Structure 1
Amino acid sequence: MSSQAEISERMRAILIDWIIEVQYRLTLMPETLYLTVYIIDQYLSMESVPRKELQLVGISAMLIASKYEEIWAPLVKDLMCLCDNAFTRDQVLTKEKAILDRLHWNLTVPIMYMFIVRYLKAAMCDTELENMAFFYSELALVHYAMLVYPPSVTAAAAVYAARSTLGMNPPWTDILEHHTGIVEPQLLYVLR
């Protein structure tokens, strides 16, 4: 964010929170959400974006992620409608191409969702633990400070926080340590 002249961490958080709402409203797959946030963050790290175009970057990133992850991607006009038609179809498609060009079309990346699903299997979780872990992972998506950690560490921290919140004892097991390669003191450092 230090390279952004007009965009702050708070503005990024508002955008990501809105993207999460859009993902739920359109009933898109979780992979689409996590890839969308990855694309937004990568693009913002490479390109200075004017404040008035931040939502355009978000919706274009979601269009890209939807085309990559979904069987049926939402229509551009539906995404435009969610933005109160603040942008034209040409603007969305032009920004989509600009983002893809800037990222060199590299979309196959390890996102937090892939790790959290694996870690939850290792934790032999129930629905309550799963919901709590995904709640924490979505909170992590919003908070800029969490970007310093690799997706695997953030996913492990979400599972650890969920297990701790639900009073599971121990909060971090040998099996989870084996599957994540992360020991409990590392997680406590992330969650401080």
Structure 2
Amino acid sequence: MSNFSDSGFEEDLQSPSPSKHAAVSWLREQDERLTADWHEMNYDESCFIIQQNNEEKFLALDCLARQPQITAEARCKLVSWLLAVYKHFSLSFESCCLAVNIMDRFLATTSVAADCFQLLGITALLIATKHVEVCSPRIKQLLSLCCNSFSREQLCNLECLILLRLNFRLAAPTLAFFLDYFISKELSWHRSDGRHGQIFSVHEGSNCNDFKPTEDQLSTMKRYKCFARKVCELSLADYAFNKYQPSVIVQSAINLTKDLLRRHTSTLEMVDLLSIGGHESEGSFNHSVTQQCTEELKLLVSLNQESIQNLLAL
């Protein structure tokens, strides 16, 4: 008679025979060895390498090439609206970035009518939140933001179609991932590397692991991260940046953020933060591509001065 474990797989729950003891022992040895290797591995760096290696596989280059009714301007308006929606629901930036990636990759495979474009946006956001968030927005809430122009059945049918066209490949590298990685690495590098200077002063003889930043220092960190994220949000809505890998956009956004904040700040701690050369990331970047992306981001920011003026004024 078949027996099933809690995992749902059929297993032999009887005591192992003598011939099985050797296999069990070997499996335990392998498990101990893998555990030891795992502890030696830097988890963050491993995730970064995996994500950077996967960037090209998830790029949606020229996703509007086969769209007779969807223009770059229409995409910009929809993504700008999605940026407002993710903030309305207090979702993570990761969800918004993943939603745009899902939408773009679907556009690269399937023609979409202009009157269904907004439905594609909220459906992509729903799929992204299911992949990232603990709790997703209710379908009723999403449809209400579209003035109930679409039905629940339409959204669910499109959701199935998107998943099929993308072959359920949802774990795309995003701007949010690389932004968190680069900034966290840079901040920890500045704080712990006494040879190059520190963002925040740590008393001599104290342990950096015990260091707790002050409210002013936390405000400095928050301002730096918020400005870099804002630049990334602007690039997310601009179709011209679809040709760049997310890691390149983020690296360029961080470089531009330092340059802009250095010109508009008199805070000593912020100057210390921006004056250091910074952490050299593990990834290999084409400096000419990064420079080109940075120049295009400068133009984009100059065209959106009103949206970033409050960040510069802090």
Mind listing any 5+ residue stretches in structure 2 that lack a counterpart? 1-63, 188-219, 263-273, 296-314
**What amino acid sits opposite 1:17 in the alignment?**
S
The equivalent residue for 1:45 is 108
The equivalent residue for 2:183 is 120
The equivalent residue for 1:60 is 123
Q: Which deviations, in whole Å up to 9, do the C-alpha atoms of 1:19-38 show, x marking residues without a partner?
A: 00000001111111111011
Between the aligned partners of 2:160 and 2:288, the Cα distance in structure 1 is 43
Superposed counterparts of 1:92-111, under 5 Å:
92-111=155-174
Is the aligned partner of 1:143 residue 2:249? no
Q: 1:111 to 1:47 in 2, by over 3 A?
A: same
Between the aligned partners of 2:119 and 2:154, the Cα distance in structure 1 is 8
**What amino acid sits opposite 1:102 in the alignment?**
R
Task: Using the TM superposition, give the Cα deviation of residue 180 of structure 1 relative to its aligned residue in structure 2, in angstroms.
Answer: 4.3
The equivalent residue for 1:178 is 281
Between the aligned partners of 2:134 and 2:156, the Cα distance in structure 1 is 19
- For the pair shown, the structure with the greater C-alpha radius of gyration is 2
Q: Which deviations, in whole Å up to 9, do the C-alpha atoms of 1:83-128 show, x marking residues without a partner?
A: 1101000001111111111000000121111111111112217111
Task: Using the TM superposition, give the Cα deviation of residue 184 of structure 1 relative to its aligned residue in structure 2, in angstroms.
Answer: 5.5
Between the aligned partners of 1:180 and 1:166, the Cα distance in structure 2 is 25
8 Å CA contact 1:122, 1:179 repeated in 2? no
SS at match of 2:108: helix
TM-score under structure 2 length normalisation: 0.58
Q: CA RMSD in A?
A: 1.5
8 Å CA contact 2:182, 2:281 repeated in 1? no
Mind listing any 5+ residue stretches in structure 1 that lack a counterpart? none
SS at match of 1:126: helix
Between the aligned partners of 1:178 and 1:103, the Cα distance in structure 2 is 30
Task: Using the TM superposition, give the Cα deviation of residue 187 of structure 1 relative to its aligned residue in structure 2, in angstroms.
Answer: 2.5
Q: Which deviations, in whole Å up to 9, do the C-alpha atoms of 1:43-68 show, x marking residues without a partner?
A: 11111100001001001001101111
Superposed counterparts of 1:158-169, under 5 Å:
158-167=253-262, 168-169=274-275
**What amino acid sits opposite 1:140 in the alignment?**
S
The equivalent residue for 2:224 is 129
Q: Which deviations, in whole Å up to 9, do the C-alpha atoms of 1:146-188 show, x marking residues without a partner?
A: 0101111111111111111111335xx352x334433755432
Q: Which of 285, 290, 296 lines up with 1:187 in the alignment?
A: 290
8 Å CA contact 2:255, 2:294 repeated in 1? no
Q: 1:163 to 1:185 in 2, by over 3 A?
A: farther
Structure of higher RCO (CA pairs closer than 8 Å, 6+ residues apart): 1
The equivalent residue for 1:28 is 91
**What amino acid sits opposite 2:246 in the alignment?**
P
SS at match of 1:178: coil
SS at match of 1:120: helix
The equivalent residue for 2:6 is none
Aligned residues: 189
8 Å CA contact 2:231, 2:253 repeated in 1? yes
TM-score under structure 1 length normalisation: 0.93
**What amino acid sits opposite 1:7 in the alignment?**
I
8 Å CA contact 2:95, 2:128 repeated in 1? yes
